[in-house]
Amino acid sequence: MKFFLNLSYRHKIPLWGCFLIIISVIAVSASFIGNAYTHVEKDLSIDSEKLGYSLRSNLFTAILQDDIWRAFEIITEASQRESSSMVQVENILVLDNAQRVLVSTHPKETPIHTNMYDLGSEFSEISRHINQMSGDKSRTIYLPKSKHYYSLTPISRENASLGTLIIVHSKDVFFPLFAKNARNGLLVGTLILAILLPFNWYWGQRMAVPLVQLAARMAQLGKKWPEDLDPDLYEYHDELGLLFEAYNQLLDDLKSKEVLEMQILQSERLAALGQLAAGIAHEINNPLSGMLMAIDTLKCHSETSPLTQKTIALIERGLTQIKDTVAALLVEAKMKSRNLLPQDIEDVLTLISPMSGKKALHIAWHNSLTDEIALPATFIRQIMINLLMNAIKAAAQQGEISCDISVIDSKLQISVINDGKTLSAEQISHLFEPFASFSEGGHGLGLWVTYQIVNQLSGNISVKKENNNHMNFTVKIPLGEHP
């Protein structure tokens, strides 16, 4: 039992359904068959009694005239006529009122003038039944364990009785008749099974398979992200359907929570990196400025050998490179700048045109700015140039870039899309870290700088893969906070 209860619903539902259907069909068929048995007994009784009534009148006349040959011919003809019908007549006897055989269709077995008691136990029993009979109604006697059944008809007219007609039938006809009826019952049962079982199986599968898949996915939760459920798996809105909806909702919530966590983690990481970089830059910047000033002073106020001059120049270039790098890391967006004009945007297009021209790119440019907006022009231009430069680098030869600038919900939105190679999720997660270059020749600070600027302007930058596999970089910066 435990084994059965532990079975998967995939098997348990159809099995349980099958079990119930089979039990019901067996019960219905059994009642059919039981009914058939009673019917057969009843039908045979009626047929036999009908035969008795049909013979009674002629026999009455024949016996009245003591014409027993005529009586014999009447019963013999009836017996032969009925032998081909369903009621198989084995013997017909006519008894007188003293229960002696007057005539029978089988005189050798039941000779004339033999007493019923001398014809064996069954006839003795029948004799007892005849004694109990009254009126002119027929009776059918089924003796237990007997191979025959008997119908008794009084040979009477207007209350004058001349004897009794006994029709002996073989019970052999019983079984074929019963089997015929029973077969019909079984056939109907089988037909019902043939219709219901596949239907039950289908229905069981329909219920179980989604449940099983759901259970399997629930078990995976916490270990890895389960595969998506087939949306066509269960499309109804019953309790099962609600369960699926709840599962999908849960999964969506879990996923967005994880994405949020990742984003927080990333921005925290980037913020920490930013602080670290800014701190180091400041710490480096002070001695660096001193060193550069000292070298400047040395160059101007001392006589030095050519070798020294060469060395000083070498040091100066090195220090300048450090300064540049540090300056790049130390993004300072708090400096004053004028507001952004639509013309600034167009300038950017002019600036990048030579570069895009080299790769024969097509730039789809949508600038919907019409008025001045309260954002620092310098930084916005820098952001755009960085994004567009990256896009041009990433784009394929004769590829396509689209740039869309608009103000939506009091936010400046800049979208730059390129058709270059796509980035993996792993690459995207490290995209805004310094020196994380994914293209040849880049130092990997462009996006870092852009990220820092956007961050300092209280905006955000996101990267996503479009449906057509184009990479979309979108920057949103709220207006008015940086006059």
Partner 1 sequence: MNIIFRLILTCWLLLMSSALLATPLRLGITSATARGQYALLEEWRDYLQRKLDKPVEFIFRESYLESLDLLKQNELDFAWVSSPAYFENSRQMNLLVTPLYKGQPFDHSYLIVPSSDHVSQSLLDLKNKVFAYVDPDSSTGYLQPRYQLLQQHQNAERFFKKTFFTRDHQKIVAAVAIGMADAGAMSGFAWDSLARSRPDITNQTRIVTRSAPYGFPPLIARNSLSKRDFNDMQRVLIEMNQDPDGIKLLQRLNLDGFIVADSKLYQGVYKMMRRIGDL
CA-wise closest residue to 167 among 143, 144, 150: 150
Cβ-based nearer residue to partner 1, 114 or 456: 114
Taking contact as CB under 8 A, which single stretch among the options 64-72, 145-153, 166-174, 467-475 is the one that binds partner 1? 64-72
CA–CA separation, 310 vs 296, rounded Å? 14
**Given candidates 7, 30, 98, 112, which one binds partner 1 under the rule CB under 8 A?**
112
The single-letter DSSP state of residue 20 is H
Q: Strand, helix or coil at 150? A: strand
Q: Going by C-beta distance under 8 Å and a sequence separation of 6 or more, which residues neighbour residue 322? A: 284, 288
Residue 401 backbone phi and psi in degrees, to 5: -130, 140
**Given candidates 1, 2, 69, 336, which one binds partner 1 under the rule CB under 8 A?**
69
* Smallest separation, CB 129 to partner 1 (Å): 26
In the chain, what is the straight-line distance between the N-terminal and C-terminal CA atoms, in Å? 78
C-alpha angle 181-184-189 in degrees, rounded to nearest 5: 130
* Smallest separation, CB 105 to partner 1 (Å): 9
Please name the helix (run of DSSP H) or strand (run of DSSP E) that holds residue 375, with its range, or none. Answer: strand 373-376
The single-letter DSSP state of residue 338 is P
CA–CA separation, 136 vs 160, rounded Å? 10
Under rule CB under 8 A, residue 46 binds partner 1: no
* Smallest separation, CB 28 to partner 1 (Å): 50
Taking contact as CB under 8 A, which single stretch among the options 66-74, 292-300, 302-310, 337-345 is the one that binds partner 1? 66-74
Cβ-based nearer residue to partner 1, 3 or 69: 69
CA–CA separation, 247 vs 231, rounded Å? 12
Taking contact as CB under 8 A, which single stretch among the options 65-73, 277-285, 342-350, 391-399 is the one that binds partner 1? 65-73
Asked whether the beta carbons of 183 and 78 are under 8 A apart, the reply is no
Kindly tell me the sign of the dihedral angle through the C-alpha atoms of 199, 202, 206, 212.
positive
* Smallest separation, CB 150 to partner 1 (Å): 21
Cβ-based nearer residue to partner 1, 113 or 421: 113
Under rule CB under 8 A, residue 103 binds partner 1: yes
Residues 389-448 that bind partner 1 (CB under 8 A): none
For 416, the token pair is: 């730059």
Cβ-based nearer residue to partner 1, 107 or 241: 107
* Smallest separation, CB 145 to partner 1 (Å): 28
Q: How far, in Å, are 125, 149, 215, 407 from residue 178 at the CA level?
A: 26, 15, 52, 91
Under rule CB under 8 A, residue 60 binds partner 1: no
Cβ-based nearer residue to partner 1, 66 or 409: 66
Cβ-based nearer residue to partner 1, 60 or 451: 60
**Given candidates 27, 77, 97, 107, which one binds partner 1 under the rule CB under 8 A?**
107
Under rule CB under 8 A, residue 113 binds partner 1: yes
String of DSSP letters for 200-261:
HHHHHHHHHHHHHHHHHHHHHTTTSPPPPPPTTS----SHHHHHHHHHHHHHHHHHHHHHHH
Residues 184-213 that bind partner 1 (CB under 8 A): none
Cβ-based nearer residue to partner 1, 100 or 139: 100
Residues 143-162 that bind partner 1 (CB under 8 A): none
**Given candidates 28, 68, 278, 436, which one binds partner 1 under the rule CB under 8 A?**
68
* Smallest separation, CB 183 to partner 1 (Å): 38
# of chain residues touching partner 1 (CB under 8 A)? 11
Residues 261-280 that bind partner 1 (CB under 8 A): none
Under rule CB under 8 A, residue 83 binds partner 1: no
* Smallest separation, CB 70 to partner 1 (Å): 9
**In which order are the strands placed within the sheet that holds 362-367?**
362-367, 400-408, 411-418, 471-478, 460-465
Under rule CB under 8 A, residue 64 binds partner 1: no
Under rule CB under 8 A, residue 80 binds partner 1: no
**Given candidates 36, 40, 52, 72, which one binds partner 1 under the rule CB under 8 A?**
72
**In which order are the strands placed within the sheet that holds 139-142?**
101-104, 89-96, 160-170, 148-157, 139-142
Kindly tell me the sign of the dihedral angle through the C-alpha atoms of 246, 252, 256, 261.
positive
Cβ-based nearer residue to partner 1, 44 or 71: 71
Cβ-based nearer residue to partner 1, 108 or 224: 108
* Smallest separation, CB 109 to partner 1 (Å): 9
Q: How far, in Å, are 125, 152, 157, 406 from residue 400 at the CA level?
A: 112, 109, 118, 20
Q: Strand, helix or coil at 270? A: helix
Under rule CB under 8 A, residue 67 binds partner 1: yes
Cβ-based nearer residue to partner 1, 105 or 181: 105
Cβ-based nearer residue to partner 1, 75 or 392: 75
Q: Residues interacting with partner 1, by CB under 8 A?
A: 66-69, 72, 103, 107-108, 111-113
